[in-house]
């Protein structure tokens, strides 16, 4: 039929609608095929992780850890005698996919609880959906301060949402000893990601250090994944701080470190967790990994009885070291939840919640207790972390004293 | 003050030369084939990972790895063009979608082959060069020199070799070139491979300074987009000039305005230029 | 623009209504036969993306103005709804109007410089606009956009999935119908002429500038409607609404369905949204498989699903004989 | 400037990167005239057409149509005033049928109140005139070259022009096709439409035109009846080169 006539009829439109109608039926059956009759046997846990896209690096490390956690839980008798089965949903770091994922995991897979979540955007987007379903969610990575704030503001609505991931104040508390004690700085410069959590960290850090008499002389924020740092390096040079604090935790961390090294800036910088704590990454950086200082949430030292066992098994299974955050906190998130359910002795969410609120749980990174925002608490005997320095692909632990393995190795061009 | 400005500018020029190299491949494919190759960034990624494969995993020296990876990506480009682009080349939109999906396919294949983890190519040369207001990594200087060398070679190829002349003719007018006995298909296949190779070379030069991950190709692709259009599609001097200008503009905006705006500014400039001169800075009027 | 009445003969009319009614009935009873909010949710998203894809088609499929940054209209509208509703406390209806209006303004802002551009220049300029919006939302202006964490707490018109389902269904049918009517009118034919050959269209006396701008505006407004609905349904707007992937999906949906037909992109968006979800069990492999399917479509069925229908029709015609005229 | 000047071109120039494609051209066309423009390849004929129809903006100079300065107006505005054109490299709407191609112009003409009847009827009428009525429902991309040329003319006619500019309508046609098309153009002119014809095929141009302008390197080198132009030394030189001139004049 010629175009004009084709255009001047409504036929195409209606036919299209008919095809659409047919596809609804087809679609429902595609979606439905994942549906299974709920058996009493395995207990399903839904894991929301980014397995594709720019966050897949972290997402895959989370998945690694969940797999180990599953093994361990099941070896120890499972949750309330039931074996754990993990259903993964790839959020690709996308909020909408996160929401869809929650609905799929709850409605189709009938999961008992949710764990994971890498980016804060996904966490905040799913918070309400999860609250509506009234199902537990253990946030294991996303670090936005808004997440515990939700719980604090409306504890009834978000009662089943907990976080084993770190809070920005923890970043501060864990990094500050480097600035004040190890370097003894009077001024510092902050480099962060252009993101809400990093800006919040900047504020908390500034306030905290001001009280200790350390002044911030400048700051720069870069979009996640930035590769080129010449302008920031120049800015650091011109502000001449005693130390640089860098929360470039994603892909941008490595180019920053390399370019910082090349510029021979006369003071050290410390990376607040993230990519510069990854042993495999730093080893591959060669000489440019030397003198990189870092704060890490966990290390291959006996924080608890589980720590070194986990590190050993992780390296053995995957061929590279865990990062201490995405993996350790995810492992802990799932195992802490399992411990809580077993301790509560019931599948009742209310009881699980109060068990989580009132008790102390052993994890790989330390011991977990949750505050009024359902945020894992920081502190001696709970969770701390380490400060270290890389040289020749090996890390020296500088802090805290009980696990210390050496002193700060000064680069020849440092003035401190 | 003036030293800082000088140091910033030198850094900008050095990095801009590599941007230009990354954009050149896109410009050639656009000029000769009149298609937007969204997979260009994926070829960049491949170039980086092949260099990684040869130099780190197989322990070859950097120069050999660089050359091998450029050659392999050239071959991949040729095959890619033959199998995927050629059958649909006349449909601008289809090529666009295909190369977009193709970019994801390559990215995912890289992810499954090398893993999603961050990887590094250690410095192939260590040391710094003193410049006013500080020092720069010697790798940057050398990479810049190599990039300029490649550009110069490109000029010579286009100007004096048979294939280069054929490429220019096809770019000028496909039909006329065809009637003059030029095998247009083969020229286009070659150009596509060549474009891919240029992306891979840029990646091989930049990745020791930067970092490797499967989705690393998008950023240079988008930058190359802006450079190519800004400089005028198909104009090689325009692309080289714009690449360097972009490098400098980025570093200067990063320093004097803010690092977050430095990514926005090139695109704002692009829109401004294109509103004034619809064929870009060096593009010919139609 | 004036819309001419379409001429339809009574006999065909009934047949077509039957198809529409069939779709309406099936779509309307889905919430009654499935207890799964998940399925409802995916279908709501499908409805939104149907509007989104169809709105892309009027500009690129019909008018040939290659738009690589369609997410900008969707995203800007969604952000404006979210920001005015949560930060300025505007009533949702006003926010929605503001959102769609902002998409309209953006379509003018983008459309005007684009009028003089052709081919790759146009494509990359439209892309640049959306990319700037993405960069602003994801980093340069996170004080307003919340960056990756987004703007939370947008109000909804109706509470719950099922009411939202019906609302989106009505909105979708209405939008696609309107776009289809425009596309099938004289205006649509003129737009198609511009796509076929702009110079020839000018030589026919068509004010191509005016019609291209009209296409930009229509495209922007309907994408804005989709974005505004999305914001109130999701109740959070993050940078995901202005990504490169979202812009690309407008193109992918349309190609798979059949570019330049309005109905094709609608079907494409509907099916692919469902298909993508149906693939979620593939986990890591999902993106790979999805993109391989797209590559296969471009190579082997570039006319999209709707061209299958024509192929079938052609065959049938050959069997029946060419006596239908 | 008087009202009865139909088309007047004054000092018209167009430069591309220093190349003077059209260089200070002056000429008039009277209503009802049939003007031929000839010249060797690259003489600036098509550029001149693009300037008159508004597809290019002149570097300098002015164009008047019926006493009105139309220099800065857009192509579609000129169509509205009654100036229509065809293209040297044909530009049919390929995915449209023959009649749809013409309907587009008719639609616009109808919107402008130039025609009263239904656009489809009018389009059919025009197709009849160019002898394409039997091809109504064929897709334009499936037409043979000769008919595409006719289609272009039909499309231009459907805008109800007063001035029709034909850009090499005979190029690439067979002898027989040339003859039928010649008749079509003749009858168009007979119906009162002023025609300007660019042609490389000199024979056809000579046969049709009442007056001929010869362009070379963007300049008018001759202006007169076909007979006068044929005798012009400069013209022969431009076409055949110096040697040819010697040969022709003995």
Identify the CATH number of the domain in which residue D223 sits. Answer: 3.40.50.300
How many CA atoms, within 13 angstroms, populate the side-chain half-sphere of residue C231?
38
Q: What is the pLDDT of residues A239-296, one digit of tens each?
A: 999 999 999 888 899 999 999 998 889 999 999 988 999 998 999 888 899 999 999 9
Q: Is any Cβ of chain A less than 8 angstroms from the Cβ of D131?
A: no
Residue C298 belongs to a domain with what CATH number? 1.10.3470
Q: Is residue D218 part of a domain?
A: yes
d(CA D226, CA D221): 14
Q: Does C125 contact B233 at a Cβ distance shorter than 8 Å?
A: no
Q: Is residue C13 part of a domain?
A: no
Closest-CA residue to A295 (of A200, A205, A414): A205
Residue of D nearest to C208 (CA): D76
Chain length of chain D: 250
Q: Is residue C303 part of a domain?
A: yes
Q: Give me C283's structure tokens.
A: 């986990």
Angle, helices B138-160/B236-256, rounded to nearest 10 degrees: 160
Categorise residue A285: left if φ over 0, alpha if ψ from -120 to 50, beta otherwise: alpha
Burial of C312 (0-12, 13-18, 19+ CB in 10 A): exposed
Q: What is the pLDDT of residues D172-203, one digit of tens each?
A: 888 888 888 889 999 999 999 999 999 876 77
Q: Does D96 contact C202 at a Cβ distance shorter than 8 Å?
A: no
Would you state the pLDDT for residue A89?
94
Which residues does D111 contact at the CB level (< 8 Å), separation at least 6? none
Torsions phi, psi of C6, nearest 5? -85, 150
Q: How far is CA C67 from CA A127, B237, C124, C187, C299, in A?
A: 35, 28, 8, 20, 21
Closest-CA residue to D101 (of D58, D150, D66): D150
Q: Which domains are seen in chain B, by residue range? A: 2-121+131-276 (1.10.3470)
Indicate the Cα dihedral angle D60, D65, D68, D74, nearest 10°: -60
Q: Give me A83's structure tokens.
A: 């074996």
The string of DSSP letters for A199-234 reads: HHHHHHHHHHHHHTT-EEEEEEEE-TT----HHHHH
The parent domain of residue C294 ranges over 37-324
Q: What is the pLDDT of residues B130-166, one digit of tens each?
A: 888 778 888 889 999 999 999 999 999 988 999 989 9
Which residues does D249 contact at the CB level (< 8 Å), separation at least 6? D233, D236
Neighbours of chain D (3+ CB pairs under 8 A): A, C
Bridge partners of residue B130, in order along the sequence:
B135
d(CA A225, CA A223): 6
Closest-CA residue to B201 (of B60, B44, B79): B44
Q: Is any Cβ of chain A less than 8 angstroms from the Cβ of D180?
A: no
Q: Is residue C58 part of a domain?
A: yes
* C-beta neighbour count of D94 within 10 angstroms: 16
**pTM recorded for the entire structure:** 0.90
Residues in chain B closer than 8 A to A287 (CB atoms): 122-123, 126
Of A10, A16, A51, the CB nearest to C283: A51
Closest-CA residue to A261 (of B160, B136, D161, C10): B136
Q: Is residue D220 part of a domain?
A: yes
Q: Is residue C27 part of a domain?
A: no
How many CA atoms, within 13 angstroms, populate the side-chain half-sphere of residue B217?
29
Q: How far is CA A188 from the centre of its chain?
A: 26
C-alpha distance from B64 to closest chain C C-alpha (Å): 31
Residues in chain C closer than 8 A to A25 (CB atoms): 26
Q: Does D94 contact C196 at a Cβ distance shorter than 8 Å?
A: yes
Of C128, C248, C294, the CB nearest to B267: C128
Residue of B nearest to C140 (CA): B260
Interface of A with D (CB under 8 A): 2-4
Residues in chain C closer than 8 A to A119 (CB atoms): 148
Residue of A nearest to D96 (CA): A3
Q: Is residue D70 part of a domain?
A: yes
Residues in chain C closer than 8 A to D103 (CB atoms): 189
d(CA B68, CA B47): 9
d(CA C148, CA C134): 11
With a pLDDT cut of 70, the percent of chain B lying above it is 99
Residues in chain C closer than 8 A to D112 (CB atoms): 205
Q: What is the pLDDT of residues B167-201, one digit of tens each?
A: 988 888 888 888 888 899 999 999 999 999 999 99
Residue of A nearest to D93 (CA): A3
| Cβ contact D176:D125 at 8 Å | no
Q: Is any Cβ of chain B less than 8 angstroms from the Cβ of C93?
A: no
Q: Is residue D115 part of a domain?
A: no
Closest-CA residue to C179 (of B79, A399, A10, B20): A10
Would you state the pLDDT for residue C308?
85
Q: Is residue D72 part of a domain?
A: yes
Indicate the Cα dihedral angle D216, D217, D218, D219, nearest 10°: -60
Burial of A362 (0-12, 13-18, 19+ CB in 10 A): middle
* D211-216/D83-85 β-pairing: unpaired
DSSP letter assigned to residue B284: P
DSSP letter assigned to residue D58: -
Residues in chain A predicted with pLDDT less than 70, given as ranges, are: 1-40
Categorise residue D201: left if φ over 0, alpha if ψ from -120 to 50, beta otherwise: beta
Q: Does C299 contact B98 at a Cβ distance shorter than 8 Å?
A: yes
Residues in chain A closer than 8 A to D137 (CB atoms): 2
d(CA D110, CA D119): 7
Q: Give me B251's structure tokens.
A: 């570093």
Q: Is residue C25 part of a domain?
A: no
Residues in chain A closer than 8 A to B123 (CB atoms): 258, 286-288
Q: Give me C159's structure tokens.
A: 């509470």
Strand order in the sheet with D7-16: D19-29, D7-16, D60-65, D68-69
Identify the H or E element spanning B14.
helix B2-33
Helix ranges, chain C (H):
10-33, 37-56, 71-86, 92-114, 119-135, 142-145, 161-184, 186-196, 198-203, 208-234, 244-257, 263-278, 286-300, 305-320
Q: Does B263 contact C135 at a Cβ distance shorter than 8 Å?
A: yes
| Cβ contact A269:A297 at 8 Å | no
Would you state the pLDDT for residue C3?
39
Asked if omega into D229 is within 30° of 0 (cis), the reply is no
Written as tens digits, the pLDDT of chain C (325 aa) is 333 434 434 444 455 566 667 878 889 899 988 888 999 999 999 999 999 999 999 999 999 999 999 999 999 999 999 999 999 999 999 999 999 999 999 999 999 999 888 888 898 899 999 999 999 999 889 999 998 899 999 999 999 899 999 999 999 999 999 999 999 899 999 999 999 999 999 999 999 999 999 999 999 999 999 999 999 999 999 999 999 999 999 999 999 999 998 989 999 999 999 998 988 888 778 889 889 999 999 999 988 888 887 777 776 655 554 443 3
Q: Is residue C168 part of a domain?
A: yes
Q: Give me B229's structure tokens.
A: 């259009």
Q: Give me D237's structure tokens.
A: 């030189």
Residues in chain D closer than 8 A to C205 (CB atoms): 76, 79-80, 105, 108-109, 112, 159
Q: Does A20 contact C148 at a Cβ distance shorter than 8 Å?
A: no
Of C34, C36, C236, the CB nearest to A125: C236
| Cβ contact D224:D211 at 8 Å | yes
Torsions phi, psi of A215, nearest 5? -100, 140
Total domains in chain C come to: 1
Q: Give me D102's structure tokens.
A: 């013409």
d(CA C275, CA D167): 52
Categorise residue C283: left if φ over 0, alpha if ψ from -120 to 50, beta otherwise: left
3-state secondary structure A247-303: ECCCCCHHHHHHHHHHCCCCCCEEEECHHHHCHHHHHHCHHHHCCCEEEECCCCCCC
The parent domain of residue D42 ranges over 7-90+163-249
- pLDDT category at D116 given cuts 50, 70, 90 is confident
Kindly tell me if the per-residue pLDDT of D33 is higher than 50: yes
Q: Does C255 contact B97 at a Cβ distance shorter than 8 Å?
A: yes
C-alpha distance from A310 to closest chain B C-alpha (Å): 20
| Cβ contact C241:C230 at 8 Å | yes
Closest-CA residue to D55 (of C115, C199, C197): C199
Identify the H or E element spanning D233.
helix D233-249
d(CA D232, CA D227): 9
| Cβ contact D46:D88 at 8 Å | yes
Of B96, B268, B271, the CB nearest to C113: B271
A28-66 burial, b for 16+ CB within 10 Å, e for fewer? bebbeebeeeeeeeebbbbbbbbbbbbbbbbbbbbbbbb
- For the segment D67-76, the average pLDDT, to the nearest whole number, is 91
Q: Is residue D217 part of a domain?
A: yes
Residues in chain A closer than 8 A to B136 (CB atoms): 262
Contacts with C, A 269-328, CB within 8 Å: none
Of D55, D77, D105, the CB nearest to C204: D105
| Cβ contact C227:C168 at 8 Å | no
Residues in chain C closer than 8 A to B98 (CB atoms): 294-295, 298-299
Q: Which of C48, C175, C236 to probe by mutation at the A interface, max A CB count within 10 Å?
A: C236
Q: Does C6 contact A8 at a Cβ distance shorter than 8 Å?
A: yes
């Amino acid at each position: 039929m010629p175009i004009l006539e084709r255009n001047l009829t409504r036929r195409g439109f209606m036919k299209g609608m008919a095809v659409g109608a047919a596809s609804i039926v087809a679609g429902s059956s595609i979606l439905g095929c994942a549906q299974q009759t709920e058996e009493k046997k395995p207990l399903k846990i839904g894991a929301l992780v980014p397995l594709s896209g720019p966050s897949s690096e972290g997402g895959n490390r989370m998945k690694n850890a969940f797999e180990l956690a599953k093994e361990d839980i099941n070896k120890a008798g499972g949750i309330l005698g039931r074996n754990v089965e993990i259903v993964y949903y790839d959020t690709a770091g996308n909020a909408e996919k996160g929401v869809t994922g929650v609905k799929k995991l709850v409605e189709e897979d009938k999961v008992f609880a949710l764990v994971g979540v890498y980016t804060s955007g996904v966490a905040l987007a799913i918070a309400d959906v999860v609250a509506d379903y009234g199902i537990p969610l253990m946030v294991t990575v996303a670090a936005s301060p808004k997440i515990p704030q939700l719980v604090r503001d409306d504890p009834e609505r978000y009662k089943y949402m907990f976080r084993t991931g770190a809070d920005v104040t923890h970043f501060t508390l864990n990094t500050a000893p480097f600035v004040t004690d190890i370097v003894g700085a009077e001024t510092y410069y902050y480099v962060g990601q252009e993101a809400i959590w990093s800006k919040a960290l900047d504020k908390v850090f500034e306030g905290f250090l001001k009280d200790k008499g350390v002044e911030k002389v400048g700051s720069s924020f870069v979009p996640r994944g930035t590769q080129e740092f010449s302008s920031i390096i120049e800015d650091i040079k011109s502000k001449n701080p005693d130390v640089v604090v860098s929360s470039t935790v994603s892909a941008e961390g490595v180019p920053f470190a390399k370019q910082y090294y090349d510029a021979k800036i006369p003071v050290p910088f410390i990376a607040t967790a993230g990519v510069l704590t990854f042993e495999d990454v730093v080893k591959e950086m060669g000489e440019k990994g030397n003198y990189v200082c870092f704060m890490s949430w966990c290390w291959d030292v006996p924080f608890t009885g589980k720590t070194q066992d986990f590190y050993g098994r992780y390296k053995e299974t995957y061929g590279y070291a865990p990062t201490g955050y995405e993996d350790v906190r995810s492992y802990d998130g799932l195992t802490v939840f399992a411990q809580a359910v077993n301790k509560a002795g019931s599948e009742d969410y209310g009881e699980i919640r109060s068990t989580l609120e009132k008790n102390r749980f052993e994890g790989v990174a330390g011991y977990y207790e949750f505050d009024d925002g359902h945020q894992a608490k920081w502190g001696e005997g709970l969770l701390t972390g380490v400060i270290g320095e890389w040289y020749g692909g090996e890390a020296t632990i500088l802090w805290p004293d009980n696990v210390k393995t050496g002193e700060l190795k000064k680069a020849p061009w440092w003035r401190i | 003050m003036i030293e800082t400005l000088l140091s910033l500018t030198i850094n900008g020029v050095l990095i801009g030369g590599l941007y230009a190299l990354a954009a050149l491949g896109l410009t050639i494919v656009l000029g000769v084939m009149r298609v937007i190759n969204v997979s260009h960034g994926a070829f960049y990624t491949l170039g980086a990972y092949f260099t990684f494969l040869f130099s780190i995993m197989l322990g070859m020296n950097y120069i050999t790895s660089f050359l091998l990876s450029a050659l392999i990506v050239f071959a991949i480009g040729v095959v890619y063009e033959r199998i995927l682009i050629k059958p649909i080349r006349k449909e601008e939109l289809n090529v666009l979608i295909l190369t977009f999906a193709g970019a994801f396919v390559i990215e995912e294949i890289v992810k499954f082959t090398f893993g999603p983890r961050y990887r590094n190519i250690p410095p192939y040369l260590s040391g710094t060069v003193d410049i006013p207001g500080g020092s720069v990594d010697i790798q940057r200087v050398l990479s810049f020199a190599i990039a300029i060398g490649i550009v110069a070679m490109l000029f010579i190829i286009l100007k004096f070799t048979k294939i280069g002349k054929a490429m220019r003719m096809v770019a000028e007018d496909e039909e006329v070139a065809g009637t003059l006995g030029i095998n247009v298909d083969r020229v286009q296949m070659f150009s596509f491979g060549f474009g891919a190779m240029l992306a891979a070379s840029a990646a091989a030069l930049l990745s020791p300074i930067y970092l490797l991950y499967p989705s690393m190709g998008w950023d240079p692709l988008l930058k190359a987009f802006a450079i190519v259009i800004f400089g005028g599609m198909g104009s090689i001097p325009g692309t080289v000039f714009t690449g360097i200008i972009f490098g400098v503009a980025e570093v200067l905006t990063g320093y004097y305005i803010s690092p977050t705006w430095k990514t926005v500014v090139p695109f704002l400039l692009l829109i401004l230029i294109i509103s004034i001169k619809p064929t870009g800075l060096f593009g010919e009027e139609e | 623009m004036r819309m001419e009445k379409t001429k339809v003969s009574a006999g065909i009319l009934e047949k077509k209504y039957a198809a529409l009614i069939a779709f309406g009935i099936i779509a309307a009873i889905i919430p009654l036969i499935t207890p799964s909010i998940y399925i409802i949710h995916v279908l709501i998203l499908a409805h939104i993306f149907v509007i989104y894809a169809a709105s892309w088609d009027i500009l690129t499929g019909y008018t040939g103005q290659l738009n690589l940054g369609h997410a900008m209209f969707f995203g800007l509208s969604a952000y404006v709804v979210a920001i005015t509703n949560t930060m300025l406390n505007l009533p949702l209806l006003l926010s929605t109007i503001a959102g769609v209006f902002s998409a309209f303004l953006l379509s003018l802002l983008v459309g005007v410089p684009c009028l003089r551009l052709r081919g790759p220049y146009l494509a990359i300029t439209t892309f640049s606009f959306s990319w700037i919006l993405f960069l602003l939302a994801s980093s340069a202006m996170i004080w307003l956009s919340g960056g990756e964490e987004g703007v939370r707490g947008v109000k909804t018109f109706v509470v719950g999935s099922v009411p939202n389902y019906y609302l989106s269904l009505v909105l979708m049918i209405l939008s696609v119908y309107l776009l289809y009517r425009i596309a099938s009118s004289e205006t649509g034919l003129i737009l198609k002429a511009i796509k076929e050959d702009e110079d020839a269209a000018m030589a026919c006396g068509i004010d191509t500038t005016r019609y291209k701008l009209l296409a930009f505006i229509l495209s922007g407004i309907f994408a804005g409607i989709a974005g505004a609905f999305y914001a109130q349904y999701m109740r959070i707007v993050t940078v995901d609404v202005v990504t490169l992937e979202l812009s690309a999906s407008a193109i992918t949906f349309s190609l798979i369905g059949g570019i330049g037909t309005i109905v094709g992109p609608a079907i494409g968006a509907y099916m692919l949204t469902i298909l993508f979800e149906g693939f979620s069990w593939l986990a890591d492999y999902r993106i790979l498989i999805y993109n391989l399917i797209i590559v296969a479509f471009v190579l082997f069925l570039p006319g999209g699903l709707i061209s299958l229908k024509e192929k079938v029709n052609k065959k049938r015609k050959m069997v029946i004989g060419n006596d239908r005229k | 400037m008087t009202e009865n000047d139909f088309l007047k071109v004054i000092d018209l120039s167009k430069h591309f990167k220093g190349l003077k494609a059209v260089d200070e051209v002056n000429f008039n066309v009277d209503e009802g005239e049939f003007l031929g423009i000839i010249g060797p390849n690259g003489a600036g004929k098509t550029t001149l057409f693009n300037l008159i129809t508004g597809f290019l903006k002149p570097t300098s100079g002015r164009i008047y149509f019926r006493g009105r300065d139309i220099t800065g107006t857009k192509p579609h505005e000129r169509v509205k005033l009654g100036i229509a054109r065809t293209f040297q490299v044909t530009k049919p709407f390929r995915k449209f049928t023959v009649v749809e191609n013409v309907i587009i112009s008719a639609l616009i003409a109808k919107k402008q109140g130039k025609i009263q009847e239904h656009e489809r009827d009018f389009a059919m009428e025009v197709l009849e005139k160019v002898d394409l009525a039997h091809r109504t429902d064929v897709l334009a991309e499936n037409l043979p070259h000769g008919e595409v040329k006719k289609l272009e003319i039909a499309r231009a006619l459907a805008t109800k022009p007063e001035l029709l500019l034909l850009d090499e309508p005979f190029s690439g046609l067979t002898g027989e096709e040339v003859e039928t098309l010649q008749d079509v153009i003749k009858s168009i002119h007979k119906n009162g439409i002023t025609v300007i014809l660019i042609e490389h095929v000199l024979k056809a141009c000579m046969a049709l035109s009442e007056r001929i302008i010869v362009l070379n390197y963007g300049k008018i080198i001759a202006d007169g009846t076909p007979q006068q132009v044929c005798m012009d030394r400069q013209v022969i030189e431009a076409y055949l080169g110096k040697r040819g001139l010697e040969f022709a004049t003995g």
